[in-house]
Amino acid sequence: MFLVMKKSFLGLVSAIALLAGAPAGAANLSEDNYPDFTYAAEHSVDAVVYVEVTARTESEPYQIDDPLFRFFFGDEFRPQSRERKGSGSGVIITSDGYVVTNNHVVNGATQITIVLNDNSQYEAKLIGTDPVTDVALLKVEADSSLPYLDFADSDELRLGEWVLAIGSPMGRELQGTITAGIVSAKGRNIPDYTGQFKIESFIQTDAAVNPGNSGGALVTKSGKLVGINTAIVSTTGSYTGYSFAIPSNIVKKTVADLIEYGEVRRARLGIVMQAVDQRIVSELKLSSKNGVYIVEVSKGSAADKAGLKSGDVLIEIDGIVITSTSKLQEKVNSYRPGDSARIKYIRGGKTYTSTVNFRGEEVVL
């Protein structure tokens, strides 16, 4: 039966091939049908560095029950501080030595060293950090211009687009490792149980990323920096098919603030919001789930002064369609206090426009 089926199948393939004007079994193996990452890889790899961190940790004091010990050393015993080593990756973004990495890579560091692909080493100065976006900025002083990457516009990134992840998975031994994948999703957030406010609108890819890749580059096929690799979701601690990167537009604005002001100046809208679900779509007779539903507006906030009210659905800022709560966070984060933007929102089945003048009050989300 197998032989009969096989012959019938081959006959069908041959018939289809003849109808198409091509011999049976022919395949187009042109190189044009395959993605070529050689330019992006060769252009980018030297701008991605290994980051070595030395930090000092100190244990919490604890009590000793031995009376003799307590007589000599007191009621509390504080062990001596200890040094720990950590590592990650970083990306050179200017020829004069600015390097971007993750805040969690350099958090608590007393000494930071970066290592280039040619094994050149430089002591790095910490310019500033932003735990809200998990971005940190370093500076090194080199004798000559350094290789660097230009920023891409992460808003232009498309689902299914090829990207490369470059970094040092598992340590210096694998420095400059390049993996490829596609953009699996945009505007992702991942569980965070610290209770701290975070701005998360991650690019999700299936490019292999492992511990040590944190702070490394996510680049486009044209060799531009479109994200900073930050996290994986895994039950084993190693890559299981998902990796997440901070979009370049968030990184670019954060870095610009750290260079100019030494801190991040973040615009605030002043709303409590929730995602638009099917219930809200049905109740408000919306045409789609785009936008965010405004639960509450803080009195005197930028949103209040722009005329937004509880029950409105904010759908657009400066021509950018708001598709989720994380997308709104990302977009508002691109402004500074004092900036203004045109907004579009739905109220009572009608669409309205207004101008919001962003302020710097405490965020309400």
Q: Is 104 assigned a catalytic role?
A: yes
User: In this predicted model, what pLDDT tens digit does every residue of 284-342 receive, in sequence order?
Assistant: 999 999 999 999 999 999 999 999 999 999 999 999 999 999 889 889 988 999 999 99
Q: Where do the structural domains in the chain lie, given as residue ranges?
A: 154-261, 271-357
Describe the strand order of the beta sheet including 98-102 as a list of residue ranges.
121-123, 109-115, 48-57, 82-92, 98-102, 135-139, 125-130
Q: Which of 186-195, 316-325, 347-356 is predicted with the least confidence, judged by mean pLDDT?
A: 186-195
Asked if residues 344 and 315 have their Cβ atoms less than 8 Å apart, the reply is yes
Q: Which among 46, 104, 304, 318 is annotated as catalytic?
A: 104
CATH number for region 154-261:
2.40.10.10
For the entire predicted model, the pTM comes to 0.80
Q: Is 214 assigned a catalytic role?
A: yes
User: In this predicted model, what pLDDT tens digit does every residue of 121-178 receive, in sequence order?
Assistant: 999 999 999 999 999 999 999 999 999 999 999 999 999 999 999 999 988 889 999 9
Q: Which among 87, 89, 130, 134 is annotated as catalytic?
A: 134
Q: Which among 89, 168, 201, 214 is annotated as catalytic?
A: 214
| CB-neighbour burial class of residue 3 (10 A; exposed 0-12, middle 13-18, buried 19+) | exposed
Asked if residues 188 and 326 have their Cβ atoms less than 8 Å apart, the reply is yes
Distance of CA 45 to the CA centre of its chain: 19
Q: Is 43 assigned a catalytic role?
A: no
Integer-rounded Cα Rg, in Å, for the chain is 26
Q: Residue 43: which H helix or E strand, with range? A: helix 38-44
Mean pLDDT across 76-105? 86
pLDDT at 352: 96
Instruction: Fold for 271-357, please state it.
Output: Pdz3 Domain (2.30.42)
Mean pLDDT across 166-191? 90
